[in-house]
Amino acid sequence: MHQHMTTHLNNPQEVQVICIDPGFGDCKWLTKSKSGKFSTAIKRADTSVLKFDVKGGDISLNKDEYLFNGSKWYVGNAIAEMNALATRDYSFIEKFAPLIAYKAITDARLDITKPIRIKTCLSIMNYENKEAFAKAMSTINVNNQVINCEVDVIAQGFASFIDYVVTNDIDSARMYTVTNIGFNTIDFCVILGGQVIYSTASPNGANEIVKPLRQLLESKFKLYFNEQEVKQVLLERQITVSGKKVDLSEEIFEIKAQYFETFFYSLPDIREYLRKADKNIFAGGGAYFLQGANLDDNMTFVNQPFEFSDVRGVSSYEQ
């Protein structure tokens, strides 16, 4: 498997570099001096809804709206979270890649009049689409502003290994595995001699924990919960409803236990690699759910924040 795909932009000016992990749950971005993340929840703005600020007065263009492909959209804010478009397949990420990249670029306060290089990553599951993905990000047309970018794409999982290597001594003669647990996918790769010798992916990411918890919450409290709210409950193991805190640690423990009982079975042919590896490295936002679990001695984690592992690896990787 080739680890990267590049589109080039020829310009003698100093190039601004931003690393972006678009993610099915959250987009993570990183520049030389800043970092951030936002939910990849996207919702079309309802043109029939009147908009007004707290001081009163009609607003024709909300500051949180983005004009893209002839429509106005909300991205990664509270409004987008409510009844957002499903963010569960590759076609979504490719279609909205320019919009996600634009928000990351503006959040990072890059100068869009100067050259920009985007270093990004894709799940192993979708890596065959790397050329189309690079092309989608290479021309960004949002809010009637056109930004042409140079784009590098490498594989998730492999990017997490690069992140691990930066802060840990490794023996290139030994075998390492990386399991990157994203929101929608699990990426698994085996590295020997600095090369990926095996890789696979599964669609059973951390959303397989979020879904049953969401069902439990909505059944128990008769309320609607969006994904960001459920993820917060999952991390805090409690919820506040009508001003009262409700402990959910036992229920969440059961859901997580059920998930990890089938976790490795969702990735065929990996048990032999896990046993042989010098280190089995866990990364991605879903790695938080493994903390406190009874892990083998050869299992370890990338540095926190776990969800920034791919974007840190992308930042460190040069072909």
Residues 117/152, Cβ–Cβ less than 8 Å: yes
Averaged pLDDT for residues 94-116: 97
Q: Which whole number is the average pLDDT over 73-90?
A: 77
Q: Residue range 230-251: average pLDDT?
A: 93
Q: How many CB atoms lie within 10 A of CB 171?
A: 9
Residue 268 confidence (pLDDT): 67
Lowest mean pLDDT among 150-159, 163-172, 201-210: 201-210
CATH of 4-155, one of 3.20.20.190, 3.60.15.10, 3.30.420.40, 3.90.1300.10: 3.30.420.40
More confident residue, 212 or 81: 212
Residue-level pLDDT at 263: 74
More confident residue, 197 or 318: 197
Q: Does the fold of domain 169-302 match that of domain 4-155?
A: yes
Average pLDDT score over residue span 114-135? 97
Per-residue pLDDT tens over the stretch 245-263: 999 999 998 998 888 877 7
The domain ranges of the chain are 4-155, 169-302
| Mean pLDDT across 266-283 | 88
Classified by CATH at the fold level, domain 169-302 comes out as Nucleotidyltransferase; domain 5 (3.30.420)
pLDDT at 58: 42
Distance (Å, whole) CA 186 – CA 205? 5
- Helices and strands (H, E) in the chain, number of each type: 9, 17
Q: Using a pLDDT cut of 70, give the percent of the chain over it.
A: 88
- Per-chain mean pLDDT for the chain: 88
| pTM of the model as a whole | 0.86
pLDDT at 45: 87
Sign of the CA dihedral with 188 first, then 184, 217, and 246 last: positive
Band (269; pLDDT cuts 50, 70, 90): confident
Stretch 92-114: mean pLDDT, rounded? 97
Assign 239 a pLDDT band (cuts: 50, 70, 90): very high
Question: In Å, how far are 45, 92, 140, 263 from 67, measured between CA atoms?
Answer: 10, 17, 11, 40
pLDDT at 298 over 80: yes
Tell me the average pLDDT across 17-38. 95
- pLDDT, average across residues 205-216: 93
Cβ atoms 298, 280 nearer than 8 A: yes
Other CB atoms within 10 Å distance of the CB of residue 284 = 29
Q: What per-residue confidence (pLDDT) applies to 308?
A: 98
**Which CA distances in Å does 168 have to 36, 130, 281?**
24, 29, 11
Strand partners, 112: none
Among the listed ranges 146-150, 175-179, 180-184, 303-307, which one has the minimum average pLDDT value?
180-184
